[in-house]
Amino acid sequence: MTSMSSPERHLSLRLYTIVIAMGIWVGLAVFQTSYVAPKQGQAAVKRLSDLTDTTLKQFSLLLTGPLLKRDLATVYEIADSQLASNKYWKQIIIEEVNGRQLYPLRKSSSPLSTNSFVFETKVIFENMEIAKIKLFTDYSSALENVKEFNQQLGYFQLLIVLLGLICAVYCLEKIVIKPLKRLSMAFKEMSDNNYQFSLPTSHASEIKQLIEDFSNARYTIHQNQQSLIKLKAAAEKANTAKTNFLSMMSHELRTPLNSILGFSEICLHDKNLPETSRQLLTTINDSGKYLLNLISQLLNLSEIESGKSTLTKSSVSINLIFRDCQILIFPLAAKKQISVTFTEVAPPYDRIQADKTAVMQIMLNLLTNAIKYSPTNSHIQVDCYPAQKDKLHISVNDNGNGLSSEQTDIIFQPFTRLRSHNVNSEEGVGIGLSITKLLVEQMGGTIGVSSQVGKGSSFWFQLFLWRGGDKHPLSKSRAPEKTDIATGKIEGKASSNGQTAEDNTTLPPHYHVLVAEDNLLNQKLIQRQLKSLGYDSTLTENGQQAFRKLQSGKFDLLLADLMMPVMDGLELIQKVRTMEKETGAHLPIICLSADGMEATRKKAMEYGADMYITKPVDRKVVGESLHRFLVDKY
């Protein structure tokens, strides 16, 4: 029992010593901050004020003669000299008895700050006031010196306390029993992953038992750590392989999809196309878009799971998100004659801490699923209201077939597809809700579902309300409104001449676009798209050819693929930007790549690209992008 009491007393004494030492330092710091520092500041201000007052009186005596003689030049010279020689003097105002300002000529605002002081004195000659002087001073620099001195003093006190503490702890360590000290070293070595450090021996039964327990625990921890390292390495290897595989497959699939969607889209713009051919091409185009959506979802899921997807939180209005969703889901809801009601929440409770793009994706995923699994001529209700703990509750409620408890347990798991007579059971790969859940949780929110078979489902999520201050002009609260998606009662802005946005991108052929693309089919597609939009184009097979063309010719914009032989797109962009540093020009560069990974997009933008478009490239997107860089800038 005696051998066990010493370590306990040693530990208590060491802790007590540390607390006393820190208490002394805290007391000194508080005394220095609350009493000494203010006193020193007040003393400094008083000394400076007395000196200023004396100097100001001398200054008034210097001005008496020039003022009596109306020698304003001398008055200005003396005043300017005083301002230049006194670093704490910020402004001098000299006024006549009638209030007319003599110095300076123009009135200006008084340079007052926290540490500013105003002094006033009168210029007297034979007991008669001839002028009034007002002086503005700023002692900030002097007080800053006092503050700096106090900080240095505080650091010195801390150093003294720490040195005393180290000495005290060192002395206390000398009285620690040798086996326990050795055991303490063994703990430290184990924290540094050294599991072979020799343990002490002791004849005391209590310490011997403690050493044996530590040895057993260390062996178990070592075995578990080795297992975790192997599992982590295997998981990282599998995750990297999955990401690389998806990235590669995405690129390989997007390349032919670019031709399939692009050429079918060009054919569909032919007004003389037979109806049968139009229907077949529409089917091809829709199927290609569906496949493209699956590829994008797989990449999105992979990026979020691997932690490569980053979200930026800001103030987002859920009411504005609802209004955008009304427009975007119109075509899908109209096909099934489904009405959708959005219940908006009164400001400022409509603003949440979230990433706008992510919230839009969440809402569209939930609404798309609700429409897909709801019967024709049904209704979907979107509710929104503030919940507890500063959160906003949003729910999408449908009156479809509902879900069983078994289905709700697995609904957010990846690759989960539910069977329903309302929708093809083979449609989709079952990752939309998984992505939705990951996005909500990445923003610090929660998501769930409540459902009853035969009565519909309610998918809900909660995100934190915005508490950063209302910096956005908000409309007044209004009652919940119903938008009948099926009958298309949504108002939007239309072009004054009846043209579509796509028509407005068509331009006279006086813009010349350079294309760097190694795939022959993609070359033909881009050339056809540019021609239909009214642009001239020159084709090159790699970055080296494109760079030579840029050196010898004049182009208005560069469309560049990333993966090309001889010289890839990134090297081409880098060379162009380096050349522009000498010429002072700037050529708009748009990357067209089949790589849909966010990391690749960021890398291209860092190299100097102005825009990154993932293949397949839509004709309308190309037109709007070129219009933005070639027309809008003028």
> Of the given ranges (141-145, 199-203, 393-397, 527-531), which has the lowest mean pLDDT?
199-203
CA distance 626 to 622: 6
Tokens of 200: 């002490």
Helix/strand/coil for 389 = coil
- Long-range contacts formed by 191-194: CB under 8 A, 24+ apart: 193/225
Residue 488 has a pLDDT of 33
% of the chain beyond a pLDDT of 70: 79
How far is the C-alpha of 256 from the C-alpha of 238, rounded, in Å? 28
DSSP 452: E
**Helices (runs of H) and strands (runs of E) counted in the chain:** 18, 17
Arithmetic mean of pLDDT, 567-585: 92
The backbone torsions φ and ψ at residue 475, rounded to the nearest 5 degrees and listed phi first, read: -75, 160
- 37-69 vs 72-85: helix crossing angle, rounded to 10: 160
Sheet holding 339-342, edge to edge: 446-452, 456-464, 391-398, 379-387, 339-342, 481-483
Taking the C-alpha atoms of residue 248 and residue 515, their distance in angstroms, rounded to an integer, is: 23
Is 313-483 CATH 3.30.565.10?
Answer: yes
Q: Regarding predicted confidence, which is higher, 554 or 69? A: 554
d(CA 76, CA 68): 14
State mean pLDDT over 424-442.
73
3-state secondary structure 63-132: HHHHHHHCCHHHHHHHHHHHHHHCCCEEEEEEEECCCCEEECCCCCCCCCCCCEEEEEEEEEECCEEEEE
Among 451, 312, 467, smallest CA distance to 395 is for: 451
Starting from the edge strand earliest in sequence, which strands make up the sheet with 536-540, in order? 536-540, 512-516, 557-560, 589-593, 611-614
The answer on pLDDT for 272 being more than 90 is no
Flag whether pLDDT at 492 surpasses 60.
Answer: no
Mean of pLDDT values over 550-574? 92
pLDDT number for residue 337: 92
| Weakest-pLDDT range from 201-205, 348-352, 509-513 | 201-205
Each domain of the chain, given as residue ranges in start order, spans 2-143, 208-309, 313-483, 501-630
| Residue 150 pLDDT class (50, 70, 90 cuts) | confident
Distance separating alpha carbons of residues 229 and 236, to the nearest angstrom:
10
Supply the mean pLDDT for the chain: 78
Residue 36 has pLDDT above 80, yes or no: no
Tokens for 409, please give them: 């347990």
**94, 63 in Cβ contact below 8 A?**
yes
For the stretch 495-523, pLDDT in tens is: 333 344 344 444 445 799 999 999 888 88
Contact 590, 605 (CB under 8 A): no
Q: Which of 6-20, 303-317, 448-462, 507-521 has the highest mean pLDDT?
A: 448-462
Alpha-helical runs (H) found in 508-561: 520-533, 543-552
Distance CA 258, CA 522 (A): 7
pLDDT at 599 over 90: no
Given a cut of 60, whether residue 123 has pLDDT beyond it is yes
Q: Which residues contact 609 (CB under 8 A, 6 or more apart)?
A: 560, 573, 589, 590, 591
**Predicted local confidence at residue 14, as pLDDT:** 63
CA distance 468 to 337: 41
Checking if the pLDDT of 389 tops 50, the result is yes
* pLDDT for residue 481 is more than 50: no
Weakest-pLDDT range from 131-140, 145-154, 420-429: 420-429
Q: Lowest-confidence range among 168-172, 260-264, 509-513? A: 168-172
At 136 the pLDDT is: 84
The more confident residue out of 277 and 21 is 277
Give the model's pLDDT for residue 634.
Answer: 53
Residue 489: pLDDT band (50, 70, 90) is very low
pLDDT class of 588 with cuts at 50, 70, 90: very high
Residue 88, pLDDT above cutoff 70: yes
CA distance 107 to 93: 9
Architecture of domain 2-143 in CATH? 2-Layer Sandwich (3.30)
What's residue 506's pLDDT?
47
Average pLDDT estimate for 531-556: 92
Concatenating the DSSP letter of every residue in 585-612 gives: ----EEEEES---HHHHHHHHHHT-SEE
Q: Give the DSSP H/E element, type plus range, for residue 572.
A: helix 569-583
Rounded mean pLDDT of 608-615? Answer: 91
pLDDT band at 474 (very low <50, low <70, confident <90, very high): very low
Q: Is the pLDDT of residue 43 over 70?
A: yes
- Which stretch, 12-21, 39-48, 302-311, 443-452, has highest mean pLDDT? 443-452
Q: What is the arithmetic mean of pLDDT over 203-221?
A: 78
Q: Which of 293-302, 311-320, 378-387 has the lowest mean pLDDT?
A: 293-302
Cβ neighbours of 517 (radius 10 Å): 24
Handedness of CA 39, 43, 46, 48 (dihedral sign): negative
Domain covering 501-630: architecture: 3-Layer(aba) Sandwich (3.40)
pLDDT at site 246: 64
So what's the pLDDT on residue 290? 66
Looking at CATH, the fold of the domain delimited by 208-309 is given as Helix Hairpins (1.10.287)
Helices (H), 174-204: 178-191
Q: Identify whether the C-beta of residue 549 lies closer than 8 Å to the C-beta of residue 555.
A: yes
| Residue 173 pLDDT | 56
Average pLDDT over residues 440-461: 91
Q: What is the pLDDT of residue 6?
A: 43
Distances (CA, A) of 325 to 353, 357, 475, 567: 19, 12, 19, 43
* pLDDT at 7 > cutoff 50: no
Mean pLDDT computed over 13-35: 74
* Residue keyed to tokens 């010493």: 6
